[in-house]
Structure 1
Amino acid sequence: MRIAKSLTLPLIMAGLTTPAFAVEQGETYVGGGLGMINYEEDGVADAEPTALIGRLGYGVADNVAIEGRLGFGLTDDEVTIRGVDVDVEVDQVAGAYVVGYLPVADPFSVYGLAGLTYGELSANAFGLSFDEDDTDFSYGLGATVDLNDSVSGYAEWVQYFDESSYETSALTIGANYHF
């Protein structure tokens, strides 16, 4: 009986300090957020449109998920190119990623993601529209906080496109529902 009492406190303390899994195997989540996009092109002022980005994820192992994303532009941004005002807008973004979570302390986790993104951007000037699309390897970092058993909030930075003449990244803030 004395041995059981002497082990009780250390086991309770270990349980309090061991972070829970951020995503469990077999868990599904759906969510979305507001993305502040940053489009940088050589010789052109940065454009900063916004986008709504939805996500659907599935835990393939504890703290590892596969995730699909689909987004569309909410607002455009106006930049001046050689004296011409040009509206820049995100038409759509879609991608598939592997997300690895590192629980820091219950309820906080950090994560990294890597995968492929398809995106379409349009620019409008003088009533003319120019569309450009691309696919690229993407990567990013983020943090989550569990707000309750079903809802978590997140903030992340993702480098969606990194080409020789331009790059596109986003800072996104949102929430996920886990079931």
Structure 2
Amino acid sequence: MPMYPQGYIGADAMFWDLSNDVGPSGDSAGLRLRGGAQFNEFFGVEAHLGTGGSDGPVELDHLIGAYGKGILPLSDEFRLYGLAGITEVDFDVGREDGLSYGAGAEFDIAPNFSVGADYMRYLDRSDHTFDAASVGLRFRF
């Protein structure tokens, strides 16, 4: 049985896509670091820091965000989760912030290590969206 609160850090490959109706669009791959605290088996908080990648006219300088994390444990080793919060995204063509949301899953591969994947909508505007799919490892301490 885990002890709470429980901290964690992780690193992910992040595959992002900026879809824009009125300006430059792009997609590429970058790196996302994440860290957080899980307060019980159902709730935690998480922060993301991402960077990297450019394709065509758009380059992702960085993203930084903070999220509440709702967790649905399906077994001792497997969890689904949802994230909702605020993100600031800085492209070489401008900076924006807004509400963000996403969902993912994690599977424990060792007592303190898990592998996971998620899909985030970091920006959702009427004329453009910024999404990212990520896969990586997490270490709990």
Greater Rg by CA: 1
Q: Alignment RMSD, CA only?
A: 1.7
Shift of 1:174: 0.7
Structure 1 regions of 5+ residues with no counterpart? 1-19, 79-85, 123-130
Residue 175 of structure 1 corresponds to: 137
Between 1 and 2, higher relative CO (CA 8 Å, sep ≥ 6) is seen in 2
Q: Of Structure 1 and Structure 2, which has the larger fraction of its residues in helix?
A: 1
After TM superposition, the structure 1 = structure 2 runs for residues 27-176 of structure 1, keeping only pairs within 5 Å, are: 27-42=6-21, 46-73=25-52, 75-78=53-56, 86=57, 88-122=58-92, 131-176=93-138
Q: Which runs of 4+ in 1 moved over 4 A?
A: 43-46
How many equivalent pairs are there?
A: 141
Instruction: Name the SS for the 1:117 alignment partner.
Output: strand
Instruction: Name the SS for the 2:74 alignment partner.
Output: strand
Return the letter of the residue paired with 1:61. Answer: N
Contact residue 142 and residue 155 of structure 1 kept, 8 A? yes
Structure 2 regions of 5+ residues with no counterpart? none
Q: Distance in 2 between matches of 1:100 and 1:71?
A: 21
Contact residue 25 and residue 63 of structure 1 kept, 8 A? no
Q: Deviations over 1:103-139 (max 9, x none)?
A: 11231110001000001012xxxxxxxx310111000
Q: Distance in 1 between matches of 2:16 and 2:42?
A: 27
TM-score of the superposition, structure 2-length normalised? Answer: 0.93
Return the letter of the residue paired with 1:103. Answer: P
Q: What is the percentage of aligned positions where both structures have the same residue?
A: 30
Return the letter of the residue paired with 2:14. Answer: G
Q: Deviations over 1:38-76 (max 9, x none)?
A: 110005674112221101111123321111111111x21
Contact residue 22 and residue 127 of structure 2 kept, 8 A? no
